Structure formats: structure tokens, C-alpha cells
């Protein structure tokens, strides 16, 4: 299974600022995903990070608010832009290699608090 790390593990940010979250996988993977988990809630898919092309966003999420990069097969970033307190959540990165497994493995998450 892939081992996934995320940085930062947690952060407290001021309203109106932006935060970039990094996700690193220990092996090359075809698919990477970003999820949001609001306090006490389930996970919601934000977007699929595609290597070499723009991310594919789910309904309700837009690129201007959550720009995503995927420069190679082991790394992705998610930026939460112009933050408000409603963005306070856990953001989780997951990865899946379609040629070796049908399972998504998750990183430890980034706990974001916006004041």
C-alpha cells in the first residue's frame, strides 16, 4: 500500500489568507484526490488531481477557491484561498494506482482552523 504524508499537519490561519497543503506519496500513483471533512461530518471529494492537466472538480468546488497542482506522479498540492471560518476542516489527500490496486489510501490529514 502507498504511504502518504501531508504538510502541514495542522495550522491556524487568519481570515482572508491562503494556505497550501502538500501531499507526498512514497511511490508513483496514477490518481490523487483531495477530500474535505468538516467538523463532525463525513468526507466530501473536492477534486481529482490529474498529472499534467487541470484537476477535475466536484460540484460545489471551484478552481479559484481550491487551486490544485500535480506536477508529477508522487506529489500534489491543494491551496485553500481567501479563507473564511467556514473553511475550517480536515483536508485529506488520498492516492490510488489504478494498475496495482482498487483501494484509495489516505494521508494523515491537515487540520485547518480559520479565525
Partner 1 sequence: AQKVTQAQTEISVVEKEDVTLDCVYETRDTTYYLFWYKQPPSGELVFLIRRNSFDEQNEISGRYSWNFQKSTSSFNFTITASQVVDSAVYFCALSEAYTGGGNKLTFGTGTQLKVEL
> Quick one: which of 100, 26, 84 has its CA closest to 6?
26
> Quick one: which of 27, 31, 24 has its CA closest to 2?
27
State the nearest-atom distance from the C-beta of 6 to partner 1, in Å.
10
Q: Is 82 or 113 the residue whose CB approaches partner 1 more closely?
A: 113
How many residues are recorded in the chain? 115
Interacting residue ranges for partner 1, rule: CB under 8 A: 1, 30-31, 33, 41-45, 48, 58, 90, 92, 94, 96, 98, 102-109, 111
State the nearest-atom distance from the C-beta of 3 to partner 1, in Å.
11
State the nearest-atom distance from the C-beta of 16 to partner 1, in Å.
26
Strands 19-25 and 43-49 come out as unpaired
State the nearest-atom distance from the C-beta of 10 to partner 1, in Å.
9
Q: Is 15 or 113 the residue whose CB approaches partner 1 more closely?
A: 113
Determine the Cα–Cα distance for residues 98 and 41; give it in Å rounded to an integer. 28
Q: Is 17 or 41 the residue whose CB approaches partner 1 more closely?
A: 41
Cα 80 from chain centroid? 9
Q: Is the distance from CB of 70 to CB of 76 less than 8 angstroms?
A: yes
Q: Is 12 or 82 the residue whose CB approaches partner 1 more closely?
A: 12
Amino acid at each position: 500500500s502507498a504511504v502518504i504524508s501531508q504538510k502541514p499537519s495542522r495550522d491556524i490561519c487568519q481570515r482572508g489568507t491562503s494556505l497550501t497543503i502538500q501531499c507526498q506519496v512514497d511511490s508513483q500513483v496514477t490518481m490523487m484526490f483531495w477530500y474535505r471533512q468538516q467538523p463532525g461530518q463525513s468526507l466530501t471529494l473536492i477534486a481529482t488531481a490529474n498529472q499534467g492537466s487541470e484537476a477535475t472538480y466536484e460540484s460545489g468546488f471551484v478552481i479559484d477557491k481550491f487551486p490544485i497542482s500535480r506536477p508529477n506522479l508522487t506529489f500534489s498540492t491543494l491551496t485553500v484561498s481567501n479563507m473564511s471560518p467556514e473553511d475550517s476542516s480536515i483536508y485529506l489527500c488520498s492516492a490510488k494506482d489504478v494498475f496495482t490496486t482498487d483501494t484509495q489510501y489516505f494521508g494523515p490529514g491537515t487540520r485547518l482552523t480559520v479565525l
